[in-house]
Amino acid sequence: MATKSTRKPRSRRKRRQGIKYKPVSFKLTVGQKKALESYCKTNNVTPVRFMKSLVNTHVERYRNDSPPPSYVTENQLKLFDSE
């Protein structure tokens, strides 16, 4: 008698959808460019990373896909759950 193994075949993982980027361009004065380079050099950050962090902090509340923050901690009691 042959016995079959009870292992389940591994399913293939779905490919994640790539992030789409859009180009944005704007002009800086010579003084603004020097100040940006100076700031980035002292804080060890690239100008692009600095700009993205500024945009993210100001645009975060206008995103459609971000869920509201959850104020429930892991240690909170579950007194009123309807389970």
pLDDT (tens digit, 9 = 90+) per residue, 9-68? Answer: 777 888 888 888 899 999 999 999 999 999 999 999 999 999 999 998 888 877 777 566
Of 71 and 53, the one with more pLDDT: 53
Give the whole-angstrom CA distance, residue 78 versus residue 72: 10
Domain tally for the chain? 1
Q: What is the DSSP letter of 79?
A: S
- Residue 34, domain extent: 30-61
Q: What is the DSSP letter of 46?
A: -
pTM: 0.53
Nearest residue to 52 via CA among 41, 64, 40, 42: 40
Question: 55 near 41, Cβ under 8 Å?
Answer: no
In a domain, 13, yes or no: no
Phi, psi of 66 (to 5 degrees): -85, 125
